[in-house]
Amino acid sequence: MRVEFYDTTLRDGAQSEDIAFTLTDKLRITERLDDFGIHYIEGGWPGSNPKDLHYFKEVKNLSLKNARIVAFSSTIKANAKPGADPVMKALLDAGTDCVAIVGKAWDLHVRDVLRVSLDTNLTMITETIGHLKNLGKTVFFDAEHFYDGYKRNPEYALAVLGAAKDAGADVLVLCDTNGGTMPFEIFDITRNIGKVAKTRLGIHTHNDTELAVANTLMAVRAGCTQVQGTVNGYGERCGNANLCSIIPNVILKMGHAGIDKEKIARLRELSLFVDEMANFIPDKHRPYIGESAFAHKGGIHVSAIRKNPETYEHIRPDLVGNSQRVLISDLSGEASIRYKAKEFNIDIEKDPDLAKEIIGRIKEMEMHGYQFEGAEGSLELLMKKKLGIHRSYFELIGFRIIVEKKETSQPVTEATILVKVGDKVEHTAALGKGPVNALDNALRKALQTFYPELKTMDLVDYKVRVLSTREGTGAPTRVLIESSDGKRSWGTVGVSENIIEASWRALVDSIDYKLLIEEEKK
């Protein structure tokens, strides 16, 4: 069966809390969705806001290869004529050949929200769709609250579908708008509708019970050939059905056609791009495309995947653009260390006792609060130091940090540092927004004379974790730093009861790792 994917990230997804796409964001996302192979892209609701109307004008200038742009709207108002209704005029001004019309399928909404008779609602649906079909449009009818309506008044919910079908709707989209329907209900109801509707069905689900993906798959199994959803599951309340989970499930697991498998290999890339446009930090635990989706931590797991990845991975990670990762922790075994050593191009196989020594050192450090899962830069340095294949790039002689605060002004922080590189000593100072920033600035300033490549390196994230609540402000602290040179990123870690010392250790590892990268290039 061929399934068509309908993306509503730019409308339903944009209704998610904390999302505010700009016009440029929407156009860039449109191009990415089209390149990925999405069949329909719902651009917005013309007339609801100036941005959406502007989008439909600008999107015509894009050279789309796969997707058709859809304008979304409601039915005409009660007793209005389609040709004179302002909602319909705004929809037609969008100039798309595909439109989506939402109409009430639950009698509760007809009475309590629209406050019209049940027959009037049917007339509104019929006249809206009929008018659009007479103008040559492809019409998708979104039967809002269909499943709730069907469970409470099946005769009327079916009458709504019948009115839309008789008016010429190309696809009847069954909506679980409140997100409260169970998967077995979705399957049974959808299968029953398929027997009587005799037209194409679509599915649109929400995630209020965390079942949007499961409900969508059940609807596809029951015969729906159009699937609506959003990238990363963005949407109002708890979100919409997540296309990043649905697409690989439908294509790779259920065996349906719809999007080329070569395109699906760029799924993670698409997910990260839309996160960036939404200004969201990617959720590493997302199925299929999250950073942790194919990450292995337990020693038994790692030992098994080294022999055969299928033992703990349900698909090959590269099929969705992801990759296998092995995490090092106190749960790790020798297999994990050997895996990471190979990843770092370090040969430890010649010495059978070396892996045991390294894992022993890691477990000892983790007892004191270290964590290497997000600090692989520190891990690689640790392993190379243990092997005696890492040289020291500089030596600290000492540093001093002064924070001065006057009642009417912001604090002023200055760091002074003395370092030795070879037989030369560098003494410098720098200001900063706080002790760690000042220390970072002073250290870079001192070392850039010897290592100008450090100018390309930036600290992009700084996290502090208090490891115990018993000691209050004297508790051990873990500092995790992420650094980048624009081409790659790496994490480093430091632990101490003194937050400055913990930060210093992470900073030193971060700079050491950058210099190691540059040295290995030569």
Could you report the per-residue pLDDT of 430-459, keeping only the tens digit for each?
999 889 899 999 999 999 989 999 988 888
Q: Give the residue-averaged pLDDT of 180-202.
A: 96
Q: Which residue has the tokens 């339903």?
A: 12
CATH number (3.20.20.70, 3.40.5.50, 2.60.40.10, 3.30.450.90) of 4-259 reads 3.20.20.70
Determine the Cα–Cα distance for residues 430 and 444; give it in Å rounded to an integer: 9
Q: Would you place residue 329 in the very low, low, confident or very high pLDDT band (cuts 50, 70, 90)?
A: low
Higher pLDDT, 245 or 296: 245
* Other beta carbons within 10 Å of 275: 17
Determine the Cα–Cα distance for residues 302 and 325; give it in Å rounded to an integer: 10
Spelled out in words, what is the top-level CATH class assigned to the domain 295-368? Answer: few secondary structures
Distances (CA, A) of 390 to 104, 267, 317, 326, 450: 68, 38, 32, 23, 18
CB-CB contact of 517 with 384 (8 Å): no
Q: Would you place residue 310 in the very low, low, confident or very high pLDDT band (cuts 50, 70, 90)?
A: confident
Q: Give the residue-averaged pLDDT of 306-314.
A: 85
Instruction: Output the six-digit token pair for 44.
Output: 């917005």
Name the 3-class secondary structure at 428: strand
- Indicate the pTM of the whole model: 0.72
- Percent over 90 (pLDDT), the chain: 61
Cβ-proximal residues to 256 (8 Å cutoff; 6+ apart), any chain: 1, 2, 3, 220, 250
CATH number (3.40.50.720, 2.120.10.80, 3.30.450.20, 3.30.160.270) of 395-521 reads 3.30.160.270
pLDDT for the residue 470: 67
- The answer, yes or no, to whether residue 413 has pLDDT greater than 90, is yes
Q: Would you place residue 170 in the very low, low, confident or very high pLDDT band (cuts 50, 70, 90)?
A: very high
- The answer, yes or no, to whether residue 332 has pLDDT greater than 60, is no
The length of the chain is 522
- The answer, yes or no, to whether residue 34 has pLDDT greater than 60, is yes
Burial 376-414 (b: 16+ CB within 10 A, else e): bbbbbbbbbebbeebeebbeeeebebeeeeeeeeeeebb
CB-CB contact of 156 with 117 (8 Å): no
Determine the Cα–Cα distance for residues 47 and 56; give it in Å rounded to an integer: 11
What residues does each domain of the chain span? 4-259, 295-368, 395-521
CB-CB contact of 129 with 158 (8 Å): no
Q: Would you place residue 471 in the very low, low, confident or very high pLDDT band (cuts 50, 70, 90)?
A: low
pLDDT for the residue 252: 97
**H/E segment holding residue 495:** strand 489-496
